[in-house]
Structure 1
């Protein structure tokens, strides 16, 4: 899926990771923080399904650019974006290896892309508060039919990107090369619920008679990003989706059953792929 841009970003991410390791080893805290910002910027573009948009942005750049950052990035008032760009420009001047320079150009272009598309504030918020984010979903639909209609009718849907159908996560995928597209169920919240309930559900969760009552209360007491509630005597995990300004509600007992079933299916599929194992004679 989207092999070329994935490889491009993977190479740039590997370069950034190696520089972060050097900064960590040498105790350069500010530089380490800026490399983390660069990494989270790449992560943001990927999880919001903007890989093809960024690929088009890269393709439109003149060969050898950028040697400076975009006016939109220079005008930004973010705490991390401009210092990160300045760090990358310095490395561009100092780095002798052409392949490494290419990785730096991609990272500078990434920050430029974010600035030029008006997403600087959003990315800075994502970097600072990402631990308060539920796994990002780019849209919510009431039914699978509605989601499939949108997926088929959109010229270039975000890809790969999570969406919500009711309270359930699905992942969209789209290949520009042959215009194929589809979706499959994701179990990110079920895994979270399993981890959160491993030692039991904490007492004191607010209790409500109905989902409507719980949703109204959550409007004024948003989860950060998740919190247990009780609805009609049953435990639910309320998950706040900041990007969509809504909560999903996940029945704990059902989610745990679904997670166990999913793990069994994955284990079975993996065993089929591995094939028979011969015993030593």
Structure 2
């Protein structure tokens, strides 16, 4: 079983423990299980899944892993409270597979501590709903992204890239060194929802994109904002890790989003029809 499948199975354990804590009214424990889930989400969106796997040698730990001493530097944080919960859960768990999953989560928390990312994860957990989907790298042109994708020996995966102003999902599979990327409509749902509520009549207005970008550097969107450039509406998206904004022409972006949804619906209908025809033979 590869690391992605293992983390998917671990997510099932987290969900069941979180649900049990919620049903029992143990709100603090339920919040800690949400934090533990955020750990897994964080390594995924920042492309660190294989880096994490390398930290424990590629074989999921089956015995109690060493807890990073650096966690002691974060007294009172979610990280410290979570490792205490995980150690308690490990001691109380009898089923071997579940024990292995808990061990993996302890190893994950130690990985975050050893790589100096505890504060970043705490921020990600507390504020992730207020941030745009994470992007790890920006390219001006598609060809630049392709050259990077093909040239990096161990690229971060999975992860979002920004090519121009467009999100792309990048993936890499270590087992056979396959890799690829595709256009991903990560912020269009938010743009659609905010536009439906009504674009504010009074917008920051600029003659050129350069002027808009300069203004946004000192007035960052949180994480989204509408601006006007040369009389046209744009949707500004703040990418905190990259310290930049992408700017999306509202009318064009929403048209592309509608075409994408139609294409997905058509593909889904064709697949359903194919399954139905096959089942009738």
Q: TM-score, structure 2 length as denominator? A: 0.93
Moved more, 192-201 or 36-45: 192-201
* Among candidates 119, 134, 137, match of residue 135 of structure 2: 137
Shift of 1:63: 5.1
Moved more, 114-123 or 248-257: 114-123
Name the residue aligned to 2:264: 266
Q: State the Cα deviation string for residues 42-61 of structure 1 (Å, max 9, x = none).
A: 10001111111122223367
Matched, 1:58 2:66: no
Say which SS state the counterpart of residue 222 (structure 1) adopts: coil
Q: Check the 8 A contact 2:61/2:100 in 1, yes or no.
A: no
Name the residue aligned to 1:228: 226
Moved more, 267-276 or 106-115: 267-276
Q: Unpaired runs of 5+ in structure 2?
A: none
- Aligned equivalents of 1:52, 1:5: Cα separation in 2: 8
- Aligned equivalents of 1:137, 1:209: Cα separation in 2: 28
Q: Check the 8 A contact 1:34/1:84 in 2, yes or no.
A: yes
- Aligned equivalents of 1:273, 1:164: Cα separation in 2: 30
Name the residue aligned to 2:247: 249
Moved more, 90-99 or 63-72: 63-72
Name the residue aligned to 1:149: 147
- Aligned equivalents of 2:71, 2:64: Cα separation in 1: 12
Say which SS state the counterpart of residue 84 (structure 2) adopts: helix
Q: State the Cα deviation string for residues 56-87 of structure 1 (Å, max 9, x = none).
A: 22336795333541112233356110110011
Name the residue aligned to 2:91: 93
Structure 2 vs 1, CA of residues 235 and 89 (structure 1 numbering), >3 Å: closer, same or farther? same
- Aligned equivalents of 1:159, 1:268: Cα separation in 2: 29
Q: Check the 8 A contact 2:66/2:107 in 1, yes or no.
A: no
Shift of 1:29: 1.5
Give the superposed CA RMSD: 1.9
Q: Check the 8 A contact 1:76/1:115 in 2, yes or no.
A: no
Q: State the Cα deviation string for residues 109-153 of structure 1 (Å, max 9, x = none).
A: 110111111211111110111112100111000000111111111
Q: Check the 8 A contact 1:137/1:241 in 2, yes or no.
A: yes
Q: State the Cα deviation string for residues 175-227 of structure 1 (Å, max 9, x = none).
A: 11221111110011222211211232233221111111111111111011111
Return structure 1 stretches of 4+ with deviation > 6 angstroms: none
Q: TM-score, structure 1 length as denominator? A: 0.93
Moved more, 59-68 or 41-50: 59-68
Moved more, 190-199 or 22-31: 190-199
Q: Unpaired runs of 5+ in structure 1?
A: none
Q: State the Cα deviation string for residues 2-31 of structure 1 (Å, max 9, x = none).
A: x61122111211111111111111111211
Structure 2 vs 1, CA of residues 76 and 13 (structure 1 numbering), >3 Å: closer, same or farther? same
